[in-house]
Chains A and B, each alone.
Chain A
Amino acid sequence: MDVGLLGQYVMNGLMLGMMYALVAVGFTLFFGVMDIINFAHGDVLTVGAFAALATILGLAGIGVDSPWIQLAGATLVAVTTMAALGAVIARTLVLPLKGAPPLNTLLITLMLGTALHEGVRLFYPQGANPQRFPSLLPTDAYSFGHFTLRIDSLLVLTTGLLLIVGIHLLINRTKLGLAIRAVAQDEDTAKTMGINYTLIVLATFAIGSGLAAFAGVLHGLYYSEVNFAMGLLLGVIGFSAAIVGGLGNIYGAILGGFLFSALQTIGVLAMPFASAYKDVFAFAVVILIMAWRPTGLISEKISQRV
């Protein structure tokens, strides 16, 4: 295979891995502070992407033509509204079910996810069809043999990586991050140390959901298309990536995201005749990995008092 084509695959794989990683970090953060899985997370990403799209169209409608301002506005709106949505989800659906069986939280977030993407399908104009996401980034390209490096791809990738670094700094270098880690480690002790538990949970959901919105925008920019069902696949694989990395472990989640995209890319490379089956392959990998290492490659800390 020629190097240029290979480069293209690597670029695609990195991009996919970054999306997965951003989603997986959300799952792992929620699990860290609350020991719950938010199955609506993928659909929050979808809503975020559509919020961004609506903002871009709205800005264009009132005559703001600069793509940079459109992009900044769209990102700002998507991230803040989804952060708020995340906090509302935590407040109204997750915290009230804290004492209930974990299954109920799982079901309620699953149903919320359905409600969210159904909301997009029904209430966004023509929401049932895929929507074109405008290319707002410069589309200059440099060719190296068969490999074309596009500036917009490079920008998307760089932004994503910067975000991941930002999360690292937030968790490790700020007071908020310290509080999140404290709650994740031991909720009761954290409370007695004067940490406002509810506030930290809301903040964590806001951060995770904001990240998902960002991932949604990047997804739109890279693939130039968004649709109401996109969150399902991203959610399932993002969650699987978080499991593989060991739930609660942020770096594990990031690694897991890239691992999944690598497996998917290799699968397509190894079996080009079966490219139609690439999603079948992805889900089969999810099932196999879970059967092999049920609690992830980097094990989740299970402490059960008997």
Chain B
Amino acid sequence: MTAPQDPRSLAWTIGAAIVVVLYVILLLGVESQLEIAGLLAAGIAAVAVAARFGVVARLGRFLGERDGLLNALVVAGTLAVTAFFHGDAFVLLLVATVIIYFIACLGLNLQFGYSGVLNFAGAAFFGIGCYTAAVMTVHTAVPHLLILFAGGAMAAAIGSILILPVLRTYSHYSAVITIAFGLLFKIFLEVNDALGGPQGLRVKGMNVLGWKFNSNIDIGGIEVSFYVNYIVLGLVLLALAFTFVRRVERSWIGLNLDAVRLDETAAACFGLNITRWKITAFTLGNFLIGLAGALFAMMLGFIAPTNFTFGDSLILVSIVLLGGIGNPWGLVVATAILIVVPEKLQAIQEYRFLLFAAMVILILLFRPEGLLPRSLRTYFPGWRAK
């Protein structure tokens, strides 16, 4: 049932995880632009060397059969980084942003990575979650945890308006529909006074049973930044979302979504209801994107239409493409690269859209399966035929 125990590989894996965590801490901690650039170069070189000697592949195989271990290592690593930077608001905001974008990209991955439904309005659905949170925290007394789900539900509901046109079209046609929707959404926010117009809206911070997320915490005299609250909650939501997406993939549902993406005609000849599975993927995906948006808005405390441009939608798509379409772990790496690197390396901040675009073009030309290509479906990791 489970893969044979292998203490040496386990030790190596934990060692590798510690190295990665230390590297991340170092990268997030240093300030000098030159040092950051050097660290990034060293990181790329180290990964290249490790890949050259088959270390990456071996680690991947080992962890591929031990899902729980990989999940635990990632959570422990994130908590270790958080503990190290407990007072550093800038770094913790980055960590929380990566977590939240990861949730959103998991949603996009359901749509685009599995069922092949295009969505170039990711930032708009994220924005729907944000604005839902803004309106509901300020104007209603609904418990804040529920508002997160309301944000997801609202994104899914508004997304359903697009279902008809998206279902009736394919490929480039549905692409242009979602692009049009994304542009419409942003212009609508700008000209609409009720939702704050170009100035945007204030959002109340998360408050769960008197636990105010937006106040710093004092633990035994140590001042801890309030972002830690959001990191913890974000990790919980991420774990749920991740488990959900993983189970979708490792079930007949995931198979159906793949079949729909790869060959609609053949799938229909074997009884698959194409419409049902596309709607399932589109709606669930928008829900996750909206949920992430609601959490993001509460953390920032303020939102404006400029956060939801077409460029932002393209960044979400870029993350999915760079990471490796359909591979949730690829998303972690890609989200970290696309969110953290431009924030740390101020020199490229201004050029980030240009650089991302160039990166995606290169990936599509030379490595269309992404940095961490998706592996074949395993329904139960470590399962072997009797």
Contact = CB atoms under 8 A, between A and B. Distances in A.
A294 B174 CA distance: 9
Contacts of B360: 107-108, 111
A101 to B, nearest CB: 8
Contacts of B123: none
B199 interface: no
Residue of B172, B175, B361 with most chain A CB atoms under a 10 A cut-off: B172
Contacts of B171: 102-103, 106
B194 interface: no
A283 B187 contact: yes
Contacts of B276: none
Nearest to A103: B171
Interface residues of A, number: 41
Contacts of B368: 100, 104
Contacts of B353: 114, 118
B361 A291 contact: no
Nearest to A302: B170
Nearest to A27: B172
Nearest to A240: B176
Contacts of B179: 236
Interface residue SS majority, chain A: helix
A35 to B, nearest CB: 10
B168 interface: yes
Given A103-B171, A295-B173, 12 more contacts: A37-B175, A93-B365, A112-B357, A114-B314, A114-B357, A115-B361, A236-B176, A240-B176, A240-B180, A276-B191, A283-B183, A283-B187
22 contacts: A39-B175, A93-B365, A97-B364, A102-B171, A106-B171, A107-B317, A108-B361, A110-B120, A110-B175, A110-B314, A111-B360, A115-B357, A119-B354, A122-B350, A280-B191, A286-B177, A286-B180, A287-B162, A287-B181, A290-B169, A291-B164, A294-B165
8 closest A-B pairs (Cβ-Cβ)? A291-B165, A283-B184, A115-B357, A118-B354, A114-B357, A37-B172, A276-B191, A294-B168
Interface of A: 37, 39, 93, 96-97, 100, 102-104, 106-108, 110-112, 114-115, 118-119, 122, 232-233, 236, 239-240, 243, 276-277, 279-280, 283-284, 286-288, 290-291, 294-295, 304, 306
